[in-house]
Amino acid sequence: MKVYLIGVGMGNPETLTLAARRAIDASTLLIGAPRLLEGYAGKKLVRAILAKDIAEAIAGESAGPVSVLLSGDIGFYSGAKNLYPLLEGYEVEALPGISSLVYFCARCRTPWEDVHLVSAHGRAHNAPGEIQSHERTFVLTGGNYRAGDLCRELTDWGMDTVRITVGERLSYPDEAITRGTAGELAGRAFDSLAVVLAENDHPICRQYTAPGIPDDAFQRGKVPMTKEEVRSLCISKLRLEEHHTLWDVGAGTGSVSIEGCCAVPKGRVYAVERKPEAVALLEENKTKFGLTNLHIVEGMAPEALADLPAPDRVFLGGTSGNMEAILCLALEKNPEVRVVVTAVTLETIGEAVRCFDALGFADADIVQIAATRTRKAGRYHLMDAQNPVWILSGEACHE
């Protein structure tokens, strides 16, 4: 039996391709979401959304052909993906339609070849993180997550100036296109059939292809800072992925936090620091580097960590004697967390080794780095040795 998988565009029958219209006219049965079946009252209809329900409806039809109506383009966040494996044995023909992306960008008179694509419709997502790391992002919204919710989240992330264009009920007679900043549109009520084009003039990206921001790029004051060579190795040992949540405990000036933010453009970094002067420098460096995914938490760990989201990675640059309690809390939130600890004293590295052993961190790795830098003295160059630093890293492993 012949089965057509038809992308019907946004829903208005006027956006159908001629091939799609001919297939619909030839079909004995139309299957799809209720909205997509409007206007076909003279046909035999089955209202279904889930792939298994659609497959069952097809199996119950003896003659055919059958047309499955799917919104937009069947290759763009479409239910067709889940249908293909269930239709073995049928003669399947796929007829793509006009996607909301193509239609909306045409209405906005803007090209879309450089637009980053995100779906926040009925799936896990981090749309603000995607937007903060790209200049232009197209977002499908819907269900319990509307365009106003996205704008409110962007505002909470400090991205209230991101330019937003919202398209509601595209292709229908009551189509509406609204423009403004995320701050202006935050919490505003939008239709569930809406898409968003977000334009961010200052996306987060790493200036260099590898970690190693020069020390003199940071506001430093008299607050301790993890130096460039040590910091680069620590970032490497953290093995950050772009969506990760990182805790930087004892953040100091925030040099590791800043490097971490560049490495996790779709994630978040929580810089935890108890000293007011260091917190002030953290704020200065956050502003200087323009990092909206850096969240500064003033307070003493582990108490200041209690309300933070579960970390994928933890960097301990200073624990004020609370290392074991901090690690226990991190493990409680994420039993598979990866941790990197720096130490400049034998006592600290000894405590770190003891905690790693006691708490079940697997394959702990210890590296000692002692960098020496040159400085000019007249026409000569002298060598200045930096304090040696131990770096302990490992992942929790609980079977």
How many residues would you count in the chain? Answer: 399
Question: Between helices 255-263 and 228-238, what is the axis angle to 10°?
Answer: 40
- Taking the chain (399 residues) in runs of 10, the rounded mean pLDDT of each run is 93 90 94 90 91 93 91 90 93 94 95 93 77 93 89 92 96 95 94 94 76 85 87 94 95 93 91 94 90 92 95 93 94 95 93 92 88 88 89 82
Q: What is the pLDDT of residue 217?
A: 86
Instruction: Give pLDDT, residue 191.
Output: 92
Contact in structure between 70 and 94 (CB atoms under 8 Å):
no
Return the structure tokens found at 210. 């590898």
Q: What is the reported pTM?
A: 0.76
User: How far apart are alpha carbons 43 and 31 in whole angstroms?
Assistant: 10
Residue type, 350: G
> Which residues, in sequence order, are CB contacts of 55 under 8 Å at separation 6+?
83, 86, 87
Give pLDDT, residue 398: 57
According to the model, what pLDDT value does residue 208 have?
Answer: 66
* C-alpha to C-alpha distance for 1 and 24, rounded to whole angstroms: 15
- Nearest to residue 69, comparing CAs of 33, 107, 16, 28? 33
- C-alpha span between 35 and 48 (Å, rounded): 11
Query: Which pLDDT value is given to residue 399?
Result: 53
Q: What's the pLDDT score for residue 121?
A: 75
Taking alpha carbons only, the member of 76, 74, 70 closest to residue 112 is 76
- Report the candidate in 383, 364, 381, 365 with the shortest Cα–Cα distance to residue 373: 383
Domains of the chain: 2-98 (3.40.1010.10), 101-199 (3.30.950.10), 215-396 (3.40.50.150)
Q: In angstroms, rounded to a whole number, what is the distance separating the alpha carbons of residues 29 and 4?
A: 10
Find out whether 198 and 164 touch, Cβ atoms under 8 Å. Answer: yes
Start-to-end CA span in the chain (Å): 50
Distance CA 4, CA 32 (A): 12
Query: What's the confidence (pLDDT) of residue 197?
Result: 97
